[in-house]
């Protein structure tokens, strides 16, 4: 008999025999009737075993079932007023495929709530909760929508390397690893590679893991991140912001359209951010904060609290552009009228930076100069600088942190909640 998934058990099947497989989400005895709620990847179905209606052997098996046992049930679909879906299964055969040990270290029903550490230690059990299924359902939608948007717009998907020979975002946050006779690093960003892609393929995007050896533990930071990156030839930074704005709107619209149930589970009221997103300058952002009595000087970076405050002032989604060059990486293009300021931007969404980007330097001499000014050695970047010697158009791009965006859309306070297997200084298992 072919297996049916729980969402396929509908009123049309009343009176028919079906086979379902899954986990025991809950077992209850009420007024002498045994209720089992079976969960599979698509949802839940109630199995009802009443004395007199089912064989004694079935009642015996059901009475020994525990939460999270894996079972296979064959039975007849019946209409039911009490069951949530209006149908239930009257079991004719139940097979226990795998027993779950008792007690469970985490209750997937969340009747006994678990703290964050327990959720992180028992990740696979937490994946069985409604909350986790909603979070990762939404994360799936974000990934799908991002890919869809850029495929629809004629971009090419790239696979950048993870093992790299030189840093792109500054030296301090690199993980070093032995690599035969040499030293190698884990990529902090696909930056140099996506630029080399764009000077030939023109429009590229990628979803790729990146690694940051940041020592501090913050609710917005991970040591292993998934970045959704884009690089566009013949585009200045204003055009790059246009693409970012459109991509974010497309992603939010897709979540709203396809993940209504998940948003409900998480109790999130999601709205499409109002367009066009304001594009304020770094200087304006500093002044706005100073006006609010914040201790911040021109040249400082914004703290996470200050980003939130800026969100209260400038709205749900806005750009901060034109940054002082010390704040940004060597590859950021200086402005013609003031080389102390670079053509860079951050996107703040719901009070948190979720993306940043720049127009890049595509002029080899200027790039070498900036690399030296940042205390780096142009020799280490020869392969990259050479990419701009043989016909390189101006180009711009950006990167969205998948986990940061998931966190903001799901309304979560800690980035670890929305990361399947978070990597932090304290945690590399599971």
Binding site for ligand AMO (CB under 6 A): 169, 189, 191, 212, 214, 221-222, 225, 227, 229, 353-358, 397-401, 403-404
What is the sign of the dihedral through the CA atoms of 360, 323, 337 and 240? positive
CA distance 213 to 296: 26
Give me the least distance between CB of 337 and ligand AMO, in Å please.
22
CA distance 17 to 15: 7
Of 74 and 169, nearer to ligand AMO (C-beta) is: 169
| Residue 247, strand partner residues | none
Cβ neighbours around 430 below 10 Å, total: 11
Give me the least distance between CB of 149 and ligand AMO, in Å please.
17
CB-count exposure of residue 277 (10 Å: 0-12, 13-18, 19+): buried
Of 34 and 189, nearer to ligand AMO (C-beta) is: 189
Give me the least distance between CB of 168 and ligand AMO, in Å please.
6
Give me the least distance between CB of 344 and ligand AMO, in Å please.
8
Question: What residue is closest to ligand AMO based on CB?
Answer: 401
Give me the least distance between CB of 385 and ligand AMO, in Å please.
17
CB 285 within 8 A of CB 312: no
Of 209 and 315, nearer to ligand AMO (C-beta) is: 209
Element (H, E) at 147: helix 130-152
CA distance 249 to 367: 33
- The DSSP code sequence of 319-368 is EEEEEEGGGS-TTBPEETTEEEEEEEEEEEETTEEEEEEEEBP--HHHHH
Give me the least distance between CB of 261 and ligand AMO, in Å please.
26
Of 164 and 222, nearer to ligand AMO (C-beta) is: 222
Of 125 and 207, nearer to ligand AMO (C-beta) is: 207
What is the sign of the dihedral through the CA atoms of 291, 297, 300 and 304? negative
Of 221 and 350, nearer to ligand AMO (C-beta) is: 221
């Amino acid at each position: 008999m072919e297996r049916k998934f729980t969402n396929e058990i509908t009123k049309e099947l009343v009176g028919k025999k079906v086979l379902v497989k899954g986990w025991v989400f809950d077992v209850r005895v009420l007024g002498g009737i045994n209720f089992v709620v079976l969960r599979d990847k698509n949802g839940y179905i109630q199995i009802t075993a009443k004395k007199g209606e089912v064989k004694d052997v079935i009642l015996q098996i059901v009475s020994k079932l525990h939460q999270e046992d894996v079972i296979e049930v064959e039975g007849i679909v019946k209409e039911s007023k009490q069951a949530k879906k209006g149908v239930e299964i009257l079991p004719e055969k139940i097979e226990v495929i795998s027993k779950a040990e008792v007690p469970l270290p985490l209750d997937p029903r969340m009747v006994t709530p678990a703290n964050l550490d327990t959720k992180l230690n028992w990740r696979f059990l937490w994946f069985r909760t409604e909350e986790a299924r909603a979070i990762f359902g939404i994360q799936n939608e974000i990934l799908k929508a991002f890919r869809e948007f850029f495929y629809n717009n004629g971009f090419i998907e790239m696979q950048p390397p993870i093992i790299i020979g030189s840093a792109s975002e500054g030296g301090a946050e690199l993980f070093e690893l032995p690599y035969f006779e040499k030293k190698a690093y884990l990529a902090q960003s696909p930056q140099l590679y996506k630029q080399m892609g764009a000077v030939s393929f023109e429009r590229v995007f990628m979803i790729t893991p990146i690694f940051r050896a940041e020592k501090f533990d913050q609710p917005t930071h991970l040591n292993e991140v998934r970045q959704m990156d884009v690089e566009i030839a013949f585009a200045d930074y204003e055009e790059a912001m246009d693409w970012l704005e459109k991509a974010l709107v497309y992603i939010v619209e897709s979540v709203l359209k396809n993940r209504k149930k998940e948003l409900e589970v998480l109790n999130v009221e999601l709205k499409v951010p109002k367009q066009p997103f304001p594009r304020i300058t770094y200087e304006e952002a500093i002044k706005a904060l100073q006006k609010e009595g914040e201790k911040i000087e021109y040249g400082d970076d914004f703290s996470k609290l200050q980003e939130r405050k800026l969100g209260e002032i400038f709205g749900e989604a806005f750009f901060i552009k034109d940054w002082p060059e010390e704040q940004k990486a060597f590859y950021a293009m200086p402005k013609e009228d003031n080389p102390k300021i670079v053509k860079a931007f951050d996107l703040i969404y719901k009070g948190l930076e979720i993306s940043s980007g720049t127009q890049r330097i595509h002029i080899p001499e200027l790039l070498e100069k900036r690399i030296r000014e940042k205390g780096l050695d142009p020799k280490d970047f020869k392969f990259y600088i050479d990419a701009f010697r043989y016909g390189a158009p101006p180009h711009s791009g950006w990167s969205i942190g998948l986990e940061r965006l998931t966190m903001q859309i799901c309304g979560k306070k800690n980035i670890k909640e929305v990361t399947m297997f978070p990597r932090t200084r304290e945690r590399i298992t599971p």
